Amino acid sequence: MSNREIIVENLVKKYGSEVTAVNDISLHVQSGQIYGFLGPNGAGKSTTIKILTTLGLPTSGTARVGGYDVITQSNDVRRIAGVALQDIGIDPLMKPGELLALQARLFGANRSDAKARANYLLHLVQLADDANRRVGTYSGGMKRRLDLAMALVHDPDVLFLDEPTTGLDPASRRDIWREVRRLNQEMGMTIFLTTQYLEEADELADTIGIIADGKIVTTGSPAQLKAAVGKESLNLAFAEKSLAERASQLLAPEVDRAQVDRDTVRLYMPEAARAIPGVVDRLQQANLEPISLTLTQPTLDDVFLQVTGQALESNAAQAF
Amino acid sequence: MTVQAAQLRQELPRPMGRASFWTQIGLITWQNLVTIFRRPEAVLPPIGISLFFLLIYDSTLGGAASFIPNLGSNSYLGFILPLSIVSSSLSGAGIAAQNLVRNIEDGYFDKLLLTPVYRSALLTGTILSGGFILGLQATVVVGVALLMGLQVATGVLGVLAVIGLAVLLGLGFAGFTMSAALGSGNAAVVQSASFIFFPLTFLAPTFVPLELLDGWLKTAAQINPITYVLEAMRAVLNSGWDGPVLLRGVAACVILGSLMYILTLRALRIRTTRK
């Protein structure tokens, strides 16, 4: 099998002297892996993917995709990499088969092969029944699937997906996930995926890198990252943040760790379920009434909260 | 993978190369033409405006044209038709640029940059599609003039020469609007750039021959490339083949077109340079 690795070393991207979008990141994605690059809006995910796909240049550092240097061998990188960017790049006046065949021909396919490949890809992303419609009439989910098909037109070794399910309904999101997994398992494609959805990274990625403020703050498999947090948590939501902070001060001495995120306090401890009656008693004695009480197993959200001090899902929600 | 997709995939060769430069030009030209023709609202108004001017000028000024020399067997129609064709070239020149800026705005331009497309093929294909549209527009305008009774002194070859001049001139203007598209990525800027050349059509021997102009207007007309295109077209239509006049017209188009092509290449380089 060809080299399908992604190796990034000390990558930095600055805009002017003020803004550092990517701050000295290094990562290694092995051939055939799905790497989830997880972080909130503005963390540096899209800037990194633009550099890796030859659309941007780093200020310093190096990156190799499939063995090719993204700065000096950009044509080779484009030849072996497929890219579906966050902003879907399709001409709404064209029909899907036309777009796919044109793309295939630019990559050197002859007319009949390009047509056959377009036909195959339309079936692959389940758009064959809508092949005679102009792309401008497609729903958001259909456009995403077509964009994915365009990225696959030359059977890339490495596939870059920049927030592939942002703005999609749950059903379309699951369709994309299924397709990504299939591409990885059946074709051995290395997939570099940016996302701000924890569920997506958890569902797809073999390895997750969490990025915040331009830096990778932690890396590991979903299981490793969750194990590092290790404990169940009892989550108490209050009417306002000051109440959550009071509850945190009250209960912190009795748990392994207490963390306040807006109006919620999370209490990390082993066997949290058994501790519920005692916690409720203490709160009542202090005249603190939570709005809700939930018990959760460790999730990537806990990992993110622990390493960045803020919850990711609420960040993602704010993005809409 | 669905069973059908799996069957379709059997023995499908992997395209791992790059189409030749000329194939790429053909593909990009085709892509532009397909999408331009799917927007008839972009193609038809320039033709309509040109025909409107042709009818208005011929009707209002045609009766007082006896002072114009060398009209041959034509009325004022043969004199004013080149203005109408040049107007059509000017307004039609923006069509390819509008298509380009549309693709910049919808992200398809960036998608193409992620393929092994030659940057110059991307540019040339877009310009050629503009040339095709310009030729089509000029053909319609000349066709209507023939229906109105135009007699072309140089026959069918003369008609082709006039259309060729219209295309050449239009490509120069198209280069300018395309550099605006590449520089700004903004449809409103392209729209404005399309109108910048319009005053030039009136700083020329627009309604009367150059020798009847005077003062600053004559000076402006003498340095205006449109003047030489109008004179070449008028000679071909009304008096016959005049080598030096035709050559001046072609030279004006080639010089303008070359300068604009360089400007557009530079704008493309700036847009596609990685930052």
Higher-confidence residue: A162 or B67? A162
Name the pLDDT band for A320 (thresholds 50, 70, 90): very low
How much is the average pLDDT of B218-244? 88
Name the pLDDT band for B195 (thresholds 50, 70, 90): confident
Regarding whether A218 and A235 lie in a shared domain, the answer is no
Name the pLDDT band for A186 (thresholds 50, 70, 90): confident
Does pLDDT of A311 surpass 80?
no
B138/chain A closest Cα distance in angstroms: 25
Residue A189: its chain B contacts at CB < 8 A? none
pLDDT of A315: 46
The Cα A5–Cα A52 span in angstroms is: 12
How does the average pLDDT of chain A come out, rounded? 87
How much is the average pLDDT of A156-166? 90
Does pLDDT of B202 surpass 70?
yes
Segment 63-122 of chain B within 8 Å of chain A by CB: 102-103, 106-117
Contact between chains at B31 and A107 (C-beta distance less than 8 A): no
Contact between chains at A91 and B38 (C-beta distance less than 8 A): no
Residue A36 inside a domain? The answer is yes
Is residue A277 within 8 Å of A295, Cβ to Cβ? no
Which two three-digit tokens encode residue B106?
């919808």
pLDDT of A318: 38
Regarding whether A219 and A182 lie in a shared domain, the answer is yes
Nearest residue on chain B to A154, alpha-carbon basis: B15
| Residue A186 touches chain B, beta carbons under 8 Å | yes
Nearest residue on chain A to B13, alpha-carbon basis: A113
pLDDT of A58: 94
Residue A318 inside a domain? The answer is no
Out of B61-75, B212-226, B232-246, which region has the weakest mean confidence (pLDDT)?
A: B61-75
pLDDT of B246: 92
Domain count, chain A: 2
How much is the average pLDDT of A311-318? 50
Regarding whether A174 and A32 lie in a shared domain, the answer is yes
Regarding whether A237 and A207 lie in a shared domain, the answer is no
Q: Nearest by CB to B8, from A79, A87, A119: name it.
A: A119
pLDDT digits (tens, 9 = 90+) for B24-38: 999 999 999 999 999
Name the pLDDT band for B4 (thresholds 50, 70, 90): low
Regarding whether A200 and A173 lie in a shared domain, the answer is yes
- Which CATH number characterizes residue A59's domain? 3.40.50.300
Is residue A231 within 8 Å of A270, Cβ to Cβ? yes
Handedness of CA A180, A181, A183, A189 (dihedral sign): positive
Is residue A192 within 8 Å of A38, Cβ to Cβ? no
Is residue A117 within 8 Å of A43, Cβ to Cβ? no
Residue A304 inside a domain? The answer is no
pLDDT of B9: 62
Out of A221-225, A278-282, B58-62, B227-231, which region has the weakest mean confidence (pLDDT)?
A: B58-62
The Cα B231–Cα B70 span in angstroms is: 12
| Residue B38 touches chain A, beta carbons under 8 Å | yes
Does pLDDT of A209 surpass 90?
yes
Nearest residue on chain B to A83, alpha-carbon basis: B114
pLDDT of A314: 47
A218/chain B closest Cα distance in angstroms: 28
Contact between chains at B114 and A53 (C-beta distance less than 8 A): yes
Contact between chains at A106 and B116 (C-beta distance less than 8 A): yes
Regarding whether A66 and A151 lie in a shared domain, the answer is yes
Residue A306 inside a domain? The answer is no
B191/chain A closest Cα distance in angstroms: 20
Does pLDDT of B116 surpass 70?
yes
Regarding whether A132 and A219 lie in a shared domain, the answer is yes
A124/chain B closest Cα distance in angstroms: 5
Of A226, A260, A286, which one is at a domain's C-terminal end? A226
Structural domain boundaries, residue A147: 6-226
pLDDT of B164: 93
A1-34: b (≥16 Cβ within 10 Å) or e: eeebbbbbeebbbeeeeeebbbeebebebebbbb
Residue A273 inside a domain? The answer is yes
Nearest residue on chain B to A106, alpha-carbon basis: B19
Regarding whether A172 and A32 lie in a shared domain, the answer is yes
Segment 124-163 of chain A within 8 Å of chain B by CB: 124, 126, 128, 134, 150, 153-155
Distant-in-sequence contacts of A5-8, Cβ < 8 A, 24+ apart? A5/A29, A5/A30, A5/A31, A5/A64, A5/A66, A5/A67, A5/A190, A6/A35, A6/A52, A6/A63, A6/A64, A6/A65, A6/A66, A6/A158, A6/A190, A6/A192, A7/A63, A7/A64, A8/A48, A8/A52, A8/A61, A8/A62, A8/A63
Contact between chains at B2 and A126 (C-beta distance less than 8 A): yes
Does pLDDT of A158 surpass 60?
yes
Regarding whether A82 and A133 lie in a shared domain, the answer is yes
pLDDT of B204: 80
A189/chain B closest Cα distance in angstroms: 14
pLDDT of A268: 84
Test mutation, B10, B18, B112, B114, chain A, max A CBs within 10 A: B114
- Which CATH number characterizes residue A240's domain? 3.30.70.120
Regarding whether A196 and A273 lie in a shared domain, the answer is no
Which amino acid, A192?
F
Residue A217 inside a domain? The answer is yes
Residue A56 inside a domain? The answer is yes
Q: Nearest by CB to A106, from B34, B38, B115: name it.
A: B115
Contact between chains at B27 and A102 (C-beta distance less than 8 A): yes
The Cα B12–Cα A152 span in angstroms is: 13
The Cα A11–Cα A48 span in angstroms is: 8
pLDDT of B121: 92
Of A200, A226, A252, which one is at a domain's C-terminal end? A226
| Residue A278 touches chain B, beta carbons under 8 Å | no
Q: Nearest by CB to A56, from B13, B108, B275: name it.
A: B275
Q: Nearest by CB to B15, from A78, A92, A113: name it.
A: A113
Regarding whether A143 and A246 lie in a shared domain, the answer is no
Residue A240 inside a domain? The answer is yes
pLDDT digits (tens, 9 = 90+) for A15-54: 888 889 999 999 999 999 999 998 888 888 889 999 999 9
**Percent above pLDDT 90 for chain A:** 46
B169/chain A closest Cα distance in angstroms: 28
Does pLDDT of A1 surpass 50?
yes
Regarding whether A197 and A130 lie in a shared domain, the answer is yes
Report the interhelical angle of B119-147 vs B21-37 (nearest 10°).
50
Residue B39: its chain A contacts at CB < 8 A? 93
Give me the torsion for CA of A273, A274, A277, A278, rounded to 10°: -120
Look up residue B236 and give its DSSP letter.
I
**Percent above pLDDT 90 for chain B:** 25
Quickly count: other Cβ atoms within 10 Å of residue A56's Cβ.
18
Which amino acid, A80?
I
Contact between chains at B8 and A78 (C-beta distance less than 8 A): no
A47 — phi, psi (to 5°)?
-60, -45
pLDDT of A95: 96
pLDDT digits (tens, 9 = 90+) for B7-21: 666 667 777 678 899
Cβ-Cβ contacts under 8 Å for A198 (sequence gap 6 or more): A38, A299, A300, A301, A304, A312, A313
Of A210, A226, A242, which one is at a domain's C-terminal end? A226
pLDDT of A101: 95
Does pLDDT of B76 surpass 80?
no
Give me the total of CB pairs closer than 8 Å, taking one residue from chain A and one from chain B.
Answer: 119
